A and B are shown apart, each in its own frame.
Chain A
Amino acid sequence: MKVSYYPGCTLKTKAKNLEDAAVSSMAALGVDFQELQRWNCCGAVHSLADDDLIHHVAPVRDLVRAMDQGSRQVVTLCSMCYNTLARANLLMRNDEVKRKTINDFMSEETDYHGEVEVVHFLNFLRDTVGWDTLRSRVKASLNGMKVASYYGCTLVRPADVAIEPAGGGKVMNEFIDALGGSPVDFAASTVCCGSYQILAHPEAALEVIGRIIESASSAGAEALILSCPLCEYNLAKKQAELVSSGKISKKLPVYYFTQLLAIALGLGPEASRLDLNEAGSVEFLKAKNFPVESGARA
């Protein structure tokens, strides 16, 4: 099965571990993930002002590219890309006046009306692959590992692009369950990590990052999974700083959900790419007897 996917800029550089793990896992499951032939940055955030249409052009252009190459569905891995593309798509479907203005402005492109379906990889796993199939393909079960699912904002807000309805089945928990882990519920699973404010107002972001980590740890999580490179930067790369400033008591290993997928499917280090994770992530899995080696590269 061939599936078009939109990686996003960060997955091509700093979050290769998010991408490589997903592509390898899908190959193992017989799904051919094909990157869009031509794409640009999605814009990362949805523009919220009524007259600010120019900032919708970037995600719409990507959707046009997907349509032009004959894709009816485009899968995303990064939560921010998912949110931005999905909201732009809704706008193009539902707002006739804005749709016309945007299409007119992009006179060099094919007119777009929301033809493409934007799907997050978690939903693709649930709806197209299926939890039962996934469960049957697991070779190295997470064996009860207590994993906290961190959704952050962009997978669940606003409601019209949420990857599942409010109070739904908790797709990330179902994912962990399918891999043989024990999902850990924690209060801060949809609390924003501070997002881009890590650059402009780091002290405000660090405060909330500390709260999220503490919330997951105190709920008994041994590890935390997420699907956004900016959340990963905030929640993983900033932990050392938070430990030394006393904002968190101990470090918590953080992984992209695709990495645990690759590991559970029994794929090697070149698939899980733990070499790109923070110190301690490899050691934690090694201690659990998973075949992961640090420093290995594809």
Chain B
Amino acid sequence: MSAPVKQVATGDRAILPEGAKTIPIFVMGKRYEVPETLTIMKAMEYAGFKFLRGAGCRGGICGACPTVYRREGDYKLYFGLACQTVVEPNMYLAQIPFYPANRAVYDIEKIEPVADAIHALYPELFRCVACNNCTKACPMHVEVLDYISAIKQGDIARAARISFDCIQCGMCASRCMGELPQYHIAQLVRRIYGKYIQPKAEHLQKRVTQIESGRYDKALDELQKMDHARLEKIYKEREREPDMVPLGAWMPKDTQYL
């Protein structure tokens, strides 16, 4: 292979800044020169890739752009979100926007909020060998093995808590020796926890009832009919709870809607 020609790819987004240093990266085995300041996602677009899948919120929360990469001279696999991970010289990368993991069908209204019900929907849970590859693969640093262990031990609340930061990217499943769909199981766990186990917020329930009973209909109706200038004025002048105020230490002057 001859020495690669330094080229500036013409993407529809990133333009090489004046004097910016470029570094080589390898996307699916092919070498590209990209500005060193870019994230993997922007670098790929800079190099001419156009995302049909594998991009979503671009803010590190939707889980659409998980990327697996290696560093030069290192056997280890690293995982990150393309929209959050800055390129490194000579990184080898590929995106895995989707992974064909098993997802059980259930009716959350009818499910029994016990561990057995989760076990029955996902019996492959018991193929876990505790190799911990899931945890190592998680771009959100979720202790995946710990929540899988908690589910096997029947501790739904603990599993829901540990898996809370999961963004459903599927990297855990892609590396699983037992072929578990960890992220789907965790989602079921959080759904069960949220619906049946987590203590209900009573003040919220009270307010929902008030809204449903029509208590705010008149006020909302007035707001809807209000002209733009007036609406903007009262929005800006609205009473706001000061930052860092101790719990219960502040009350608005206007209490007619409480």
| Residues of A in contact with B (beta carbons under 8 Å apart) | 9, 12-13, 38-41, 43, 54-55, 57-58, 61, 105-106, 108
Contacts and interface: CB of A to CB of B under 8 A. Distances in A.
A24 to B, nearest CB: 20
B154 A41 contact: no
A61 B145 CA distance: 11
A7 to B, nearest CB: 8
Given A9-B153, A12-B155, A38 B131 contact: no
B119 to A, nearest CB: 9
B115 A13 contact: yes
B132 A61 contact: yes
A61 B154 contact: no
Given A13-B115, A13-B116, A41 B131 contact: no
Given A41-B149, A108-B136, A57 B130 contact: yes
Given A13-B115, A13-B116, A54-B177, A41 B132 contact: no
A9 B116 CA distance: 12
Contacts of A43: 129-130
Interface in B106-144: 115-116, 126, 128-132, 135-136
A42 to B, nearest CB: 9
Interface of B: 115-116, 126, 128-132, 135-136, 145-146, 148-149, 152-155, 177
A39 B152 CA distance: 11
Contacts of A39: 149
B131 A54 contact: yes
Nearest to B146: A38
Contacts of A105: 131
A58 B131 CA distance: 7
A9 B152 contact: yes
Contact of A58 (B130, B146, B154, B155): B130
A40 B145 CA distance: 8
B45 to A, nearest CB: 34
A61 B130 contact: yes
Contact of B152 (A41, A61, A108): A41
A40 B148 CA distance: 8
Contact of B130 (A12, A13, A40, A108): A40
B125 to A, nearest CB: 9
Contacts of B148: 40
A16 to B, nearest CB: 10
A108 B26 CA distance: 28
B129 A9 contact: no
Contact of A41 (B130, B135, B136): B130
Closest 5 CB pairs of A and B: A58-B130, A13-B154, A40-B149, A12-B153, A40-B130
Contact of B132 (A12, A55, A106): A106
A48 to B, nearest CB: 15
A12 B178 CA distance: 22
30 contacts: A12-B154, A12-B155, A13-B115, A13-B153, A13-B154, A38-B146, A39-B149, A40-B128, A40-B145, A40-B146, A40-B148, A40-B149, A40-B152, A41-B126, A41-B128, A41-B149, A41-B153, A43-B129, A43-B130, A54-B131, A54-B177, A57-B129, A57-B130, A57-B131, A61-B130, A61-B132, A105-B131, A106-B132, A108-B132, A108-B135
Nearest to A106: B132
A39 B116 CA distance: 20
